[in-house]
């Protein structure tokens, strides 16, 4: 069984270039695969390998005093969900596009405290208590917490504009969540910066909650940004989405096979074969027309 690690930490890295080069060298020596982003504001990444390899990676990262307390989210996979080891330098470890004072980050709620909100105040959720999903809309379609507010955004940079719809709820209790916690660190600080008075966030995100309390208040699957695309939270894992072609309940998420579309879609195995992995009839038709043109020399003239 392959072990997958997800991790991040906001901490000052004075020389991201030197850090990147040294970190990549160490990862290659461990023969692990993954994708890691490095910026002056910190590190954000996911790596995969055998239990022995990822444990050595954890020890290596923990040996740096800046990351001695970094929290790892762990998941299992039947195969390595990365093709190679990549370490990239970015301006931000999660792309937000606005200056945010991270000292204003909302209060952390443990998975147990988060669950107790649902158990103690079910009638207040949605009115006095806003459960806010800080992720993209295509992630929320695959799975979310019950009664959660989702945003019409396709990338995290859209968050500041989207939350203007909540401006009249600045005095409500806002509880945020995302996959592993990294987006909520910035998003919750941004809300407080914008005058929201009571902002909390789920510590460790969906993945940490799912390890402790599956089969409770989560519905569907959890979207993840690697080759797997979804990770199970509940034991039964009932889909809340349907195939984009035939409407059969389905949580198999793929990138549209039409190159210039590449959008995420839910598509069942039968329709993936029938429509060549395309997200829609239109993309399928255009893909077929392109293949016919490429195979017909006369059509290319």
Model confidence pLDDT, tens digit, residues 158-175: 999 999 999 999 999 999
In a domain, 29, yes or no: yes
Is there a single domain that holds both residue 49 and residue 106? no
pLDDT at 248: 87
Is there a single domain that holds both residue 108 and residue 199? yes
**Count of structural domains within the chain:** 3
Angle between helices 111-120 and 205-212 (to 10 degrees): 80
pTM of the model: 0.81
Q: How far apart (Å, rounded) are the C-alpha atoms in residues 178 and 207? A: 9
> Which of 35, 62, 89 corresponds to the end of one domain?
89
In a domain, 245, yes or no: no
Is there a single domain that holds both residue 135 and residue 80? no
pLDDT at 262: 86
Range of 150's domain? Answer: 102-212
Low-confidence ranges of the chain (pLDDT < 50): 299-301
Is there a single domain that holds both residue 108 and residue 195? yes
pLDDT at 1: 84
Would you please indicate which residues are annotated as catalytic (active-site) residues? 178
Give the tokens for residue 129: 């208590």
pLDDT at 266: 87
Is there a single domain that holds both residue 162 and residue 193? yes
% the chain with pLDDT above 70: 97
């Amino acid at each position: 069984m392959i072990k997958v690690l997800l991790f991040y930490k906001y901490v000052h890295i004075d020389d991201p270039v030197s850090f990147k080069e040294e970190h990549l060298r160490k990862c290659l020596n461990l023969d692990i695969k993954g994708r890691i982003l490095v910026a002056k504001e910190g590190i954000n990444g996911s790596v995969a390998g055998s239990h022995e390899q990822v444990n050595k990676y954890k020890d290596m990262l923990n040996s740096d005093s800046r990351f001695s307390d970094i929290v790892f989210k762990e998941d299992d996979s039947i195969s390595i969900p990365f093709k190679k080891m990549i370490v990239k330098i970015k301006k931000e470890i999660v792309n937000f596009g606005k200056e945010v004072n991270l000292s204003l980050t909302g209060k952390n709620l443990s998975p147990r405290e988060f669950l107790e909100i649902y158990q103690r105040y079910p009638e207040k959720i949605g009115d006095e208590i806003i459960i806010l999903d800080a992720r993209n809309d295509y992630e929320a379609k695959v799975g979310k917490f019950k009664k959660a507010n989702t945003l019409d955004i396709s990338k995290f940079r859209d968050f500041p504009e989207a939350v203007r719809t909540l401006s009249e709820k600045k005095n409500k209790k806002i509880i945020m969540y995302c996959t592993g916690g990294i987006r909520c660190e910035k998003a919750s600080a941004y809300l407080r910066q914008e005058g929201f008075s009571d902002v909390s966030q789920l510590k460790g995100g969906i993945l940490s909650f799912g390890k402790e309390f599956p089969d409770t208040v989560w519905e569907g699957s959890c979207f993840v940004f690697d080759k797997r695309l979804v990770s199970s939270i509940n034991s039964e894992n009932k889909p809340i989405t349907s195939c984009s072609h035939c409407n059969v309940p389905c949580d198999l998420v793929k990138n549209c096979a039409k190159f210039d579309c590449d959008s995420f879609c839910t598509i069942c195995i039968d329709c993936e074969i029938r429509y060549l992995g395309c997200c829609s009839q239109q993309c399928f038709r255009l893909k077929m027309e392109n293949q016919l043109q490429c195979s017909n020399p006369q059509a290319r003239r």
